[in-house]
Structure 1
Amino acid sequence: MKEEYPFMDSGPQSPPGAFMGALVGDEVSNDRFELTCSMLSETWMLSNGLWHRMDRQNFLWFYVSRLLVQLVLIVSVCRLLHLLLRPLKQPRIICDIIAGLLLGPAVKIDTEELFDFFNGIKSEHGRSVHVTLAATGLIFNLFVAAVKMDPTMIWRSGKRPVAIGIVSLFFPLAMVILSSYVVMDQLISILKYKGRFYIFMAASVCTTAFPVLADILAELRLLNTELGRLALSSAMIQGVIGWFFVLVFTAVNQSQNGWLKGILALICYGVMLLFVAFVFRPYVRWIVRTTPADGRVSELHVFVIIMMVLGMAIATDAMGATIIDGPMILGLAIPDGPPLGAALVERLDLLATEVLLPLLFLYGGFIADVPAAASQGGLWMWLQFIMLVAYVSKVVGAMVPAVFYNIPVQKAFMLGLMMNFRGLMEMIIFLAFRNGMLLNRETYAMLIISTVGVTAVCAPVVAHFYKPHSGSNYPMARRTVQHRKSQTELRVLACFSDEAPLPAILDLLECCSSVHSRSSLCVYPLHLVELHGRAASTLISHRDSKGLIDTSQMDRIHNNFIAFEERKEGAATVIPFTSIAPRKSMHHDICSLALDKDATFIVIPYPRRDDTTNVDADVGIRAVVPLVLSQAPCSVGILIHNSSAPPVTSTPDQWQYLIAVFFWGGPDDREALSIASRMAQHPGVGVTVVRFTSMVNQSRDDEVVGELRAQNAGNNRVVINEVMANNVEETVSVIREVGNEYDLVVVGRQQGPTALLYDGLAEWNESPELGLVGDLLASQDFHSSFAILVVQQHAS
């Protein structure tokens, strides 16, 4: 015994694999099982200490000690691999699976001490504790994944995702069955039941798992793109079909002991669904209704739901289904997002996903015999051929209906690659079939490596080549205020995440609206809501095609814009939207909506830093600004406002607003001057232009200033002052002379090449997205109460 297990030198020896054999389907004799059971006592759970005589060389013999070492080791390796492979756009799930393989039999250790240590880690002795915790982590991980899902996506999807989901499921299934018949003679040595093999291939290869797809798209920051939403909706359709197969498989599996057992299994499944629909669902909806305004869910409710998750896992296991079916159904019944969905994700996700679930990847690595799989070249080749057929047909099955619905071929190809994302759900299916003795360890290793390979290739390709706001559909004409005809409607996309910037935004919109012509301004208010407790992002339009407002999903912030529309009496149109998306990819919704609605100007708030500012709360919106600037399809205005602004009030009849414009020259300054020129048409707006002149002025700058003079001839509310500044000190002095009598200061983000600012201010620039002048005006050293609009002109 000592020679077989060199890391143990004392204490009773149990036959390793007794519990593992029971879990994975190996034959275990009764005497070995009883011997192993007799050893599960408190004596062998905890160590007496490293310096105890009996424990110096067999520290890993004890279950808890080994489990803790395994946990620390697998979590550390997973994190390290993700850190190393993240620049290559490799998803987290791929790094986790590879970490499990590296700690399994694939790695051989020559050093005796390390050999003893790693063999102690990999020992099958006491692995039941390891597997039990891994299963617990899996239960809560998939429950959380189900909580993040929105089942209403199914009937809100439309025809495109339904067609893509169905074709990309059944076409690969047909190709897999056909190809497996062709090469069946080559694979017969690793298959025991041909019929189950087809079910296995359908489940593992032909179905796109919604939780895996959502996680990978979120990592690639493509969750709220056009293709991202389409892929998620298609995966949800496939998930519905998958649940049907789960019911059939459960009934067939139980009917092996008689059809009555199969019927009883379906009846139990139906009773469980009725319980969820008529007991659990009303309970969680009552929790949502009674949750206080601060959104804090009672700990008692969270505890009750956790207990129900465990109870549902026991119930589904008892009725012949898997332990994950019940928890996932419960998760789907919980409303996603705040307050309840977000609370459950916040409390359970970290422990389940980051701590317990990695044990599943370690267990998967233990049973994957990679060296043995590599030695079987013929089997490896034919099995990979079938997998390749499945992956290629998956791409074709997604492309054909996508092209039919007028999606460009390149985007359709990217969609097909997204539908090939694989990970956790496929690994669970592989383990289930390994448990049912449909696969040996070599075949399991081949399939795991195939899963890792296809995702490792598809994810970086999609990340590199899919540019949501570029390509053939990108507008060729310059969408700027300067190049917009004065008679056409000005379309403004106004973004906000809370109520703080509303006074500044509404004042800006009032300036841009004309009181002499109707329909001169169209505003798209976009409420940016950070994604919490949801897997899929959502872009909600609150006005339908008939122009009617849907108030069911609107909030009081939108009501301020509706009141603005009513107050303008036809001079302005408001079409409100809400974007629920991760902060890191929220710019996709902003740019996509601006592109879709042919907006000319995007207004995005930027809180001014002062002693009363909550820096942590403003970090999210600040991070969005540079991404919008780099990808916007039109001009962008960064509206720097005071966080302590007063609440929104109705605009008085005698409304007055004073604006100052700093003009050096260049595209951004010309755009800023064009915006000010439009504002000057409002009878309540006064505009003062401070033009910094130099020895050399561009002719286009002179033309813009000349147009401003011509359009406002006789308008005493427009004043143009020319200032000669010979150095940086004089320029800064003029800027600092602007007083608090102004309500708004408009500047370009980048000044012309003749500006002297870059010689002395570039090294002091704390916020590059604001430019030199914008950063100077927004700094804490510049004491002011006016708002600041930093303008960037769109360049085609």
Structure 2
Amino acid sequence: MAYITSNALPADAGESFQTLNGSNVLKVCIKLPPNIHSDGIWDYIDHGVHNPLEATLPRLELQLLGVLFLTQLLHYAFKRSGVPMFVSQCLAGLILGRTVLGQNESYSRIMLSYHSQEIIDTMAGFSFGLSLFLLGIRMDVSLIFRTGKRTFYTGATSFLIPLVLGLLAVEQACRLWGLNSDEEMKLIAVTIVHSASVSSVLANLLLDLQIINSEIGRLGLSTAMVSDMLSVFVTGVIILLKAIQTQTVVSLAEIASVLVYIILVVLIFRPAMSWVVRKTPEGRPVKNLYTHAVILGALASSILSIWFSTFIFVGPLVFGLAVPDGPPLGSAVLAKLDDLVNGVVFPLFITTCTMKADLFDLAFDAHLMKGTIMVVAVITIAKFIASMVPSYFCKMPIKDTAAFGIMMCCKGIVEMGTYVFCADNGIITRHMFDLLIVIILVTRTTVTIAVKWLYDPSRIYAGYQKRNIMHSKPNSELHILACIYKPSNIPKIINFLAALGPTTHRPLALYVLHLIELCGTSVPLFISHRLQTKTVLRSPYSENVILSFKCFQEENEGITQLNTFTAISPPKFMHEDICLLALNNLTSLILLPFHGKWSVGGFLESQDTNTRALNCSVLERAPCSVGILIDRGFSGQLTLRGNSKPSSLSIAMIFFGGSDDREALTLAKRMSQNTRNMLTVLRFIDKNDKGGTDWEKMLDSEVLREIKPKEITNPRVKYKELVADGRQAASVIQSTAHKFDLIIVGRRHNLETSQTSDLSRWNKFPELGVIGNFLVSANLPCRNSILVVQQQQTV
């Protein structure tokens, strides 16, 4: 027989509440020794005893199977409607918990009894502690000190104004319904929790909506970080004042133990982990000994939290904040725990939280419940308005302002976990817990749908003017955004830029963006190196990028303007950084490296799927023209060091017609003005073409007019017209491709003629178009390079 204090869960069959020493306790019968393993189904059929589900391990396995299966099934059914995984996990808990299946007495006796819930709740609590530890690693506290005034004021007002108005609403609710001081404290606890905007919850929302790299996403994360820190500070002050008011030794000892723990983490553990980072060679993984030591430290911090009677999850969160984010240590710890915690165990915590709720037992007529609804409504409205006002005065569009205000009202797993802790410890009642679970579920669903409806990140890329090379003024300054994925991209991009031959009459405005995969932190960063003198990155790669392009600028001093940037974000959202930077700087061309790596013999030996997906995303959304540079190695290598003069470059432009080919030809003509370049334009004319005067042909003739022999004024330019079908065109290209160092072609997206139809079987990479695919195929094992150009589409 066991007596267990319980404030959150009702009694089931075989269990009963009774009063013991003035406390409400739950009377539970426990078999000793506990039956962990089952004797099997056949023993149960033969003897009618030892039900397999009464054993601990089979029951736990069945619970895990039910949670994961039902969660995935619901998510598969609702994901097309834009419902996030969090909502599916909550719904699975309501179905498996007391709200739906728990109404059945047999199911409740086996799956929802105290003995049944004890182990699965322990696993869920353990997973939540590890999740907060990982959250601490991802959080960059220094971001708070780097935010601007706009972000700080928005974060402060979005927390303090709802908090103040919520406390006034608590006072008003106590007057209206005659609530006592104990009920008032319960409403104050709800006010503090609900007033904050948690950065991890907001990050999950932004990831679900795929806008974490957008301007509104960055603003929201920075604002939530400020709100996080303010809420922690206010909570600490309230606990301290309460301890001083009660003047109990235990309360003061708890506060002192937390302060001592934080000091130890800051002065001992943080420097020790920073020493590990310094000791690890650049580019090398950290030793497993150190990552295992950090994980053990997180588990030890949970034990210390329990020993000193503080909130069990304070220890892991503080310890996670002390771990240096990013590679090598933070990313190594995340790699070991992330899939297990977030993929398997963490969803278990969300589901078990909602399993405790019984929505059929909600009592809306109770005065405390009315007060809870009133307080939550006041806080939500106040937070929405307090978040909108600063953004509106900063000239943010009204739809984006509304989306931002709604986004800041989002609630999720952190609030849910806090309310579970409050319910288990009697800080709030079970009926309040049921109501708050419903509020969190409704809020998350409506916020997701509303933000998706109000905010479309792709619409900002739709320009109202033509931003391409063809429609730029002749010999005007050419704005190019060059993207660097890997250090090996640097010499290839510089070689191409040198081939452009910038001069005082044809200057170059160069924007270089180094893209780094987000790892070990949840906050994407965008760094302008022009605005800071000291880099915040540990990796030397951005420094190498900056130095390399500075050398290029110095060699072209006075004719090249350079701006360098670094973007740290998830690979599937990097295109947002590229397109937004191109939009803000009015670039005419985005230069992207190809995703493949070439062997010495000119064959494709490996591919990077993330880079390929990124290039495809840029092609779809780019606000200007895009060029994909496929570098097999210039046969005439350009020399960029010292005072030696670069060697000559032989360039071919293959022209079939269409907007992409016209853009590519315009770029080739600009390159032909470089006295070190030789340009050959190969125009292929369909032998079945009977002529005509359609608009596309007229545009083709106009762009070719300066190239034709009778009007040519540049002896370094050759023009050839070839009447050929598809097979003949392929044969000509195959026989002449090796003669050129660089071949420029148009992508010709969704444009197919009889000349190119025979080449479509080589269309392995649709982002390169038919001609581009033929040039990179195994049939042409050349050591030249190819530039595939797509003209601006979003106009």
Q: Which TM-score applies when normalising by structure 1?
A: 0.89
SS of 1:575's partner is: strand
Identity of aligned residues (%): 30
Please say if 1:500 is aligned against 2:492: no
Please say if 1:703 is aligned against 2:702: yes
- Aligned amino acid, residue 330 of structure 1: F
Please say if 1:237 is aligned against 2:226: yes
- Aligned amino acid, residue 424 of structure 2: N
Q: CA deviation at 1:333?
A: 1.5
Q: Are residues 312 and 222 of structure 1, via their aligned partners in 2, closer, same or farther at CA, if it must alter by over 3 Å?
A: same
- Aligned amino acid, residue 293 of structure 2: V
CA contact 1:659–1:745 (8 Å) conserved in 2: yes
Match of 1:211 among 197, 200, 224: 200
For 1:83, the equivalent position in structure 2 comes to: 76
Distance in 2 between residues matched to 1:38 and 1:161, nearest whole Å:
55
CA contact 2:192–2:231 (8 Å) conserved in 1: no
CA contact 1:687–1:719 (8 Å) conserved in 2: yes
CA contact 2:39–2:50 (8 Å) conserved in 1: no
TM alignment of 1:393-542, pairs within 5 A: 393-471=382-460, 475-517=463-505, 520-542=507-529
TM alignment of 1:576-595, pairs within 5 A: 576-595=564-583
Q: Are residues 212 and 549 of structure 1, via their aligned partners in 2, closer, same or farther at CA, if it must alter by over 3 Å?
A: closer
121-130 or 683-692, which deviates more = 121-130
Q: Are residues 421 and 37 of structure 1, via their aligned partners in 2, closer, same or farther at CA, if it must alter by over 3 Å?
A: same
Distance in 2 between residues matched to 1:378 and 1:700, nearest whole Å:
76
Q: Are residues 289 and 258 of structure 1, via their aligned partners in 2, closer, same or farther at CA, if it must alter by over 3 Å?
A: same
Q: CA deviation at 1:291?
A: 1.6
1:407-431 Cα distance to aligned partner (Å, 9 max, x none): 2222111111221221101101211
Distance in 1 between residues matched to 2:497 and 2:49, nearest whole Å:
75
Q: CA deviation at 1:479?
A: 0.7
Please say if 1:92 is aligned against 2:88: no
Q: Are residues 646 and 209 of structure 1, via their aligned partners in 2, closer, same or farther at CA, if it must alter by over 3 Å?
A: farther
Distance in 2 between residues matched to 1:646 and 1:268, nearest whole Å:
69
For 1:670, the equivalent position in structure 2 comes to: 662
- Aligned amino acid, residue 57 of structure 2: V
Q: Are residues 328 and 55 of structure 1, via their aligned partners in 2, closer, same or farther at CA, if it must alter by over 3 Å?
A: farther
- Aligned amino acid, residue 312 of structure 2: I
Match of 2:38 among 47, 57, 65: 47
1:629-681 Cα distance to aligned partner (Å, 9 max, x none): 12111111111233999999635404211111111222111110111111111
SS of 2:387's partner is: helix
Match of 1:618 among 608, 612, 636: 608
SS of 1:484's partner is: coil
For 2:263, the equivalent position in structure 1 comes to: 274
332-341 or 498-507, which deviates more = 498-507
Match of 1:732 among 711, 730, 733: 730
Distance in 2 between residues matched to 1:88 and 1:649, nearest whole Å:
56
Distance in 1 between residues matched to 2:526 and 2:605, nearest whole Å:
27
Distance in 2 between residues matched to 1:280 and 1:511, nearest whole Å:
52
Q: CA deviation at 1:495?
A: 0.8
For 2:240, the equivalent position in structure 1 comes to: 251
Q: Are residues 91 and 40 of structure 1, via their aligned partners in 2, closer, same or farther at CA, if it must alter by over 3 Å?
A: farther
TM alignment of 1:91-130, pairs within 5 A: 91-108=84-101, 116-117=106-107, 119-130=109-120
Distance in 1 between residues matched to 2:180 and 2:668, nearest whole Å:
75
Distance in 2 between residues matched to 1:501 and 1:453, nearest whole Å:
48
SS of 2:736's partner is: coil
83-92 or 526-535, which deviates more = 83-92
Q: Which runs of 5+ in 1 are unaligned?
A: 1-13
Q: CA deviation at 1:295?
A: 3.1
Q: CA deviation at 1:764?
A: 5.3
Q: CA deviation at 1:38?
A: 6.3
Q: CA deviation at 1:352?
A: 2.2
Q: CA deviation at 1:313?
A: 2.0
TM alignment of 1:644-793, pairs within 5 A: 650=640, 652-693=644-685, 694=689, 695-696=691-692, 698-708=697-707, 713-725=712-724, 727-750=725-748, 755-757=753-755, 759-762=757-760, 765-793=763-791
Q: CA deviation at 1:85?
A: 2.3
CA contact 1:665–1:701 (8 Å) conserved in 2: yes
- Aligned amino acid, residue 530 of structure 2: R
Q: Are residues 373 and 643 of structure 1, via their aligned partners in 2, closer, same or farther at CA, if it must alter by over 3 Å?
A: farther
For 2:154, the equivalent position in structure 1 comes to: 164
Distance in 1 between residues matched to 2:434 and 2:709, nearest whole Å:
77
Distance in 2 between residues matched to 1:537 and 1:669, nearest whole Å:
37
- Aligned amino acid, residue 678 of structure 1: R
Q: Are residues 521 and 709 of structure 1, via their aligned partners in 2, closer, same or farther at CA, if it must alter by over 3 Å?
A: farther
CA contact 2:97–2:112 (8 Å) conserved in 1: yes
CA contact 2:38–2:52 (8 Å) conserved in 1: yes
Q: Are residues 606 and 190 of structure 1, via their aligned partners in 2, closer, same or farther at CA, if it must alter by over 3 Å?
A: farther
For 1:149, the equivalent position in structure 2 comes to: 139
Q: CA deviation at 1:557?
A: 3.7
CA contact 1:749–1:772 (8 Å) conserved in 2: yes
Q: CA deviation at 1:154?
A: 0.2
1:316-355 Cα distance to aligned partner (Å, 9 max, x none): 3344431111211111121211111111111112222233
Q: Are residues 648 and 196 of structure 1, via their aligned partners in 2, closer, same or farther at CA, if it must alter by over 3 Å?
A: farther
Distance in 1 between residues matched to 2:637 and 2:247, nearest whole Å:
71
Please say if 1:67 is aligned against 2:60: yes
Q: What is the number of residues matched between the two proteins?
A: 771
CA contact 2:681–2:719 (8 Å) conserved in 1: yes
For 2:14, the equivalent position in structure 1 comes to: none
- Aligned amino acid, residue 489 of structure 1: E
Match of 2:312 among 300, 313, 323: 323
Q: Are residues 121 and 761 of structure 1, via their aligned partners in 2, closer, same or farther at CA, if it must alter by over 3 Å?
A: farther
Distance in 2 between residues matched to 1:456 and 1:752, nearest whole Å:
38
Distance in 2 between residues matched to 1:648 and 1:352, nearest whole Å:
50
Distance in 1 between residues matched to 2:710 and 2:112, nearest whole Å:
81
Distance in 1 between residues matched to 2:383 and 2:305, nearest whole Å:
31
Q: CA deviation at 1:458?
A: 1.5
1:680-732 Cα distance to aligned partner (Å, 9 max, x none): 1111111111112342362221111124459994322111111112x322232
Q: CA deviation at 1:544?
A: 2.5
1:187-237 Cα distance to aligned partner (Å, 9 max, x none): 76899421331232231x221111111122123221111111100000000
Q: Are residues 187 and 647 of structure 1, via their aligned partners in 2, closer, same or farther at CA, if it must alter by over 3 Å?
A: farther
Cα RMSD after superposing both structures: 3.3
Q: Are residues 671 and 363 of structure 1, via their aligned partners in 2, closer, same or farther at CA, if it must alter by over 3 Å?
A: same
1:332-383 Cα distance to aligned partner (Å, 9 max, x none): 1212111111111111122222332233233322320111128869987775
CA contact 2:650–2:740 (8 Å) conserved in 1: yes
CA contact 2:97–2:355 (8 Å) conserved in 1: yes
Q: CA deviation at 1:401?
A: 0.5
CA contact 2:254–2:309 (8 Å) conserved in 1: yes
Q: Are residues 549 and 310 of structure 1, via their aligned partners in 2, closer, same or farther at CA, if it must alter by over 3 Å?
A: closer
SS of 2:42's partner is: coil
Q: Which TM-score applies when normalising by structure 2?
A: 0.89
CA contact 2:502–2:556 (8 Å) conserved in 1: no
Q: Are residues 477 and 62 of structure 1, via their aligned partners in 2, closer, same or farther at CA, if it must alter by over 3 Å?
A: same
